[in-house]
């Protein structure tokens, strides 16, 4: 019988092994350095108290006046996310122009840095900072969403503009169009579908963010949730959580549908 030698096992590079080892060390260090109360978590006492805690959620509060308040907060959250995204779309587009090197490379570096800072601070941290300037309430939340999303969208738009072939715009420029006109008629129509689909995707993210921003006092459903949880109004809190889930699912559906329409499928 013809016996072929087995193919040799794949060689694992030493650096890959080192990376894996580093990962293992990171995981072990994480678990050992955190003072996790596993014992308390799984003791009979904890089980009973968490069962009591969870049992308190049922049934969710369904009185009409309360539902009306929840609906109002849901609308507030929805408005925050929509306005924040709209503001970010406009600001992001405005910053993407210098960010893609259209006003010189110095402006590009400065604007890119600004966009990176805007982007790397999460919405919730922005909200905490903006509460000082804008006061408690949904306005601070809207601005916080706008600040973070501007960073995200501005960078995506600037990248999209930089990756665009330049010929169309240059043809218009050579034939005497001003830079703004050339941009509006040559570059903008080409990136518009991409731009809108990014924006819709961010809106999906922002509706989730808007729902929780209230936890630090920036309005909407989160504020209601924090209020009722801190007073141990479990049934009301359950209704608020259900409203959050419902709103998130509806917006996901709407945005999925809109994106399919935009992409012409």
Q: Show the site string, 142-161: x = touches another protein by CB under 8 A, - = not.
A: x-------------------
Query: Is 77 or 100 the residue whose CB approaches another protein more closely?
Result: 77
Query: Is 83 or 187 the residue whose CB approaches another protein more closely?
Result: 83
Query: Which residue intervals of 135-220 are DSSP H helices?
Result: 138-162, 167-174, 179-182, 188-213
Question: How many whole angstroms separate alpha carbon 218 and alpha carbon 164?
Answer: 39
Question: How many whole angstroms separate alpha carbon 229 and alpha carbon 201?
Answer: 30
Q: Are 110 and 171 in contact (CB under 8 A)?
A: no
Is 196 among the residues that bind another protein (CB under 8 A)? Answer: no
Is 92 among the residues that bind another protein (CB under 8 A)? Answer: no
Measured from the CB of residue 5, what is the shortest distance to another protein in angstroms?
A: 20
Is 115 among the residues that bind another protein (CB under 8 A)? Answer: no
Q: Is the link from the previous residue into 106 a cis peptide, with omega within 30 of 0? A: no
Q: Which residues of 74-108 are buried (b: 16+ CB within 10 A; e: fewer)?
A: bebbbbbbbbbbebbbebbbebbbbbbbbeeeeeb
Is 253 among the residues that bind another protein (CB under 8 A)? Answer: no
Provide the binding-site residues for another protein, judged by CB under 8 A.
15-16, 19, 23, 26-27, 29-31, 33-37, 40-41, 46, 49-50, 53, 75-76, 78-80, 82-83, 116-117, 120-122, 124-125, 128-129, 132-135, 137-139, 141-142, 208, 211-212, 215-216, 219, 222, 225-226, 229, 241, 244-245, 248-249
């Amino acid at each position: 019988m013809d016996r072929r030698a087995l193919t040799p096992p794949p060689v694992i590079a030493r650096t890959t092994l080192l990376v894996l080892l580093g990962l293992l060390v990171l995981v072990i260090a994480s678990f050992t350095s955190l003072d996790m109360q596993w014992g308390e978590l799984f003791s009979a006492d904890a089980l009973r108290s968490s069962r009591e805690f969870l049992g308190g959620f049922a049934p969710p509060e369904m009185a009409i006046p309360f539902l009306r308040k929840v609906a109002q907060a849901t609308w507030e959250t929805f408005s925050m996310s929509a306005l924040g995204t709209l503001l970010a779309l406009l600001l992001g587009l405005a910053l993407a122009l210098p960010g893609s090197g259209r006003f010189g490379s110095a402006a590009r570096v400065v604007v890119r840095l600004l966009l990176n800072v805007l982007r790397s601070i999460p919405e919730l941290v922005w909200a905490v900072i903006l509460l000082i300037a804008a006061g408690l309430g949904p306005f601070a939340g809207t601005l916080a969403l706008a600040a973070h999303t501007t960073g995200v969208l501005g960078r995506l738009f600037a990248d999209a503009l930089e990756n665009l072939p330049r010929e169309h715009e240059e043809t218009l420029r050579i034939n005497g169009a001003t830079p703004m006109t050339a941009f509006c008629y040559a570059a903008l129509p080409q990136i518009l579908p991409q731009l809108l689909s990014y924006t819709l995707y961010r809106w999906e993210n922002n509706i989730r963010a808007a729902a929780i921003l209230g936890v630090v006092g920036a309005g909407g459903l989160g504020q209601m949730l924090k209020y009722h949880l801190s007073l141990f109004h479990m049934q009301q809190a359950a209704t608020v959580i259900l409203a959050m889930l419902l709103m998130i699912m509806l917006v996901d559906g709407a945005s999925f549908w809109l994106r399919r329409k935009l992409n012409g499928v």
